[in-house]
C-alpha cells in the first residue's frame, strides 16, 4: 500500500511539474518580445509563473482532496481527530519556499543587471581620447547630438563601453505632452525610428516634469527627469511598429502622451534618415540653430522643434 502511494505521489508530482513547465512556456500573457532585453525578462517572468502555477496546482489539489476525503459523512456526529504539530512537515514547507524565493531574488538581480547594461556611463577613454556626450541644455533638454556620431546617426565603436559594437545614439526630450527625438544633422522627429540588430542608446531628459519612457514590447522603462540626463540601452530584434508610452503621471493629458517606435531594417532606416535630412534641409526655419541657443529662452528654443514636428503649441502652455 505504501509503495503504491509512493508511486502515485511521484506520478502526481511529475504531472504537476510537466504542467507547470508547459504553462510557463505557453501562457501567452506577454506581447511580442521585440528586443534582446525582452527575452531576458520573458525567461524570468515565465519561470516565476511556472513556479507559481505549480504551487497553485499543489495547494488547490490538496484543498479539493481534503474537502472530499475528510468531509462529514451522513450520521457521523463525532468530533474530528485531534492533530498536533508536525515539526518535519513545518520545516519542509518553510524551507522549500525560502530556497525558491532566494533563488528567484538572485535570478531577478542578474536579469536586472544584464538589462541595465552600461546605462549611466557618459563616456570612456579610447585611443588616447575621451569621448563624451556633447549637449547643450535648456530646461533639461539636450540640444546637440553626440559629438562623435557619424552622419548615419551611429556612434562609432569604442565611444561607449558596450563590447565594441556600433551604437545608434538618440537624444530624447520629454515634455507635456509629447516626445521629441533628436538625431544627428539637426533631425528632430516625434516618432522614434531605430535599426534592427543595432545597440540603441537613448540619452533622455525632461523639459518640465517627471516622465517615464516605456515600450511594453521591449520590457524596459526609464524615468525621464528634469535637470538630469538618464539613459536607456536596448537592442531591437523584430521589425515592426510599437507604442511608446509615458508611464509616469505627468499632467492632465498624460494618457495622450504616446507615440510610435518603428524598428526598421538597416536599409529602411538609412532611407528614413535621408528623407528626414531632406526635410530638415528644405525647412531651415523649423530647426533651432546651435549657435543661437544661448540667446533663446525656453519657449523660443522649443518653438522651432514643435513647428517642425507638428505638435500643438498648447503643449507648451502646460509647463
Q: What share of the chain is helix, strand, coil (3-state, %, to 5)?
A: 45, 25, 30
Nearest Cα to 137, choosing from 188, 207, 202, 189?
207
- DSSP reduced 3-state for 15: helix
Between 36-40, 81-85, 189-193, 299-303, the lowest mean confidence (pLDDT) is in: 299-303
**241 and 262 in contact (C-beta within 8 Å)?**
yes
Q: Is the dihedral of CA 122, 110, 225, 30 positive or negative?
A: positive
CATH fold, domain 133-318, is: Immunoglobulin-like (2.60.40)
d(CA 115, CA 238): 18
Average pLDDT of the chain, as a whole number: 77
- DSSP reduced 3-state for 28: coil
Between 65-79, 160-174, 203-217, the lowest mean confidence (pLDDT) is in: 160-174
**pLDDT beyond 50 at 244:** yes
Nearest Cα to 195, choosing from 229, 165, 158?
165
DSSP of 258-280: EEEEEEE-HHHHHHHHHHHHHHH
**201 and 233 in contact (C-beta within 8 Å)?**
yes
**211 and 244 in contact (C-beta within 8 Å)?**
no
Between 75-84, 199-208, 256-265, the lowest mean confidence (pLDDT) is in: 75-84
Per-residue pLDDT of 68-124, as tens digits, reads 988 888 888 888 778 788 888 899 989 999 999 999 999 999 988 887 754 444 433
User: Is the entire prediction scored with pTM above 0.85?
Assistant: no
Amino acid at each position: 500500500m505504501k509503495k503504491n502511494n509512493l508511486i502515485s505521489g511521484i506520478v502526481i508530482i511529475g504531472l504537476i511539474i510537466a504542467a507547470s513547465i508547459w504553462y510557463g512556456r505557453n501562457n501567452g500573457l506577454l506581447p511580442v518580445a521585440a528586443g534582446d532585453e525582452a527575452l531576458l525578462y520573458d525567461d524570468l517572468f515565465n519561470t516565476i509563473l511556472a513556479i507559481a502555477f505549480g504551487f497553485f496546482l499543489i495547494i488547490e489539489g490538496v484543498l479539493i482532496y481534503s474537502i472530499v476525503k475528510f468531509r462529514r459523512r451522513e450520521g457521523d456526529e463525532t468530533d474530528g481527530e485531534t492533530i498536533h504539530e508536525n515539526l518535519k512537515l513545518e520545516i519542509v514547507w518553510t524551507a522549500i519556499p525560502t530556497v525558491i524565493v532566494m533563488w528567484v531574488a538572485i535570478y531577478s538581480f542578474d536579469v536586472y543587471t544584464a538589462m541595465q547594461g552600461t546605462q549611466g556611463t557618459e563616456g570612456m577613454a579610447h585611443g588616447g581620447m575621451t569621448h563624451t556626450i556633447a549637449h547643450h541644455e535648456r530646461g533639461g533638454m539636450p540640444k546637440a547630438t553626440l559629438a562623435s556620431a557619424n552622419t548615419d546617426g551611429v556612434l562609432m565603436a569604442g565611444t561607449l563601453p558596450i563590447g565594441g559594437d556600433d551604437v545608434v545614439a538618440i537624444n530624447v526630450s520629454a515634455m507635456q505632452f509629447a516626445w521629441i527625438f533628436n538625431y544627428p544633422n539637426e533631425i528632430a522627429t516625434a516618432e522614434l525610428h531605430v535599426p534592427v540588430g543595432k545597440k540603441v542608446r537613448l540619452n533622455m531628459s525632461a523639459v518640465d516634469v517627471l516622465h517615464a519612457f516605456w515600450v511594453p514590447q521591449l520590457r524596459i522603462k526609464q524615468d525621464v527627469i528634469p535637470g538630469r540626463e538618464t539613459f536607456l540601452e536596448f537592442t531591437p530584434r523584430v521589425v515592426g511598429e510599437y507604442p511608446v508610452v509615458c508611464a509616469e503621471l505627468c499632467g492632465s493629458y498624460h494618457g495622450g502622451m504616446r507615440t510610435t517606435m518603428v524598428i526598421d531594417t538597416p536599409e529602411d532606416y538609412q532611407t528614413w534618415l535621408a528623407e528626414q535630412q531632406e526635410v530638415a534641409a528644405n525647412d531651415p526655419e523649423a530647426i533651432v540653430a546651435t549657435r543661437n541657443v544661448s540667446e533663446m529662452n525656453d519657449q523660443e528654443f522649443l518653438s522651432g522643434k514643435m513647428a517642425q514636428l507638428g505638435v500643438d503649441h498648447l503643449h507648451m502652455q502646460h509647463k
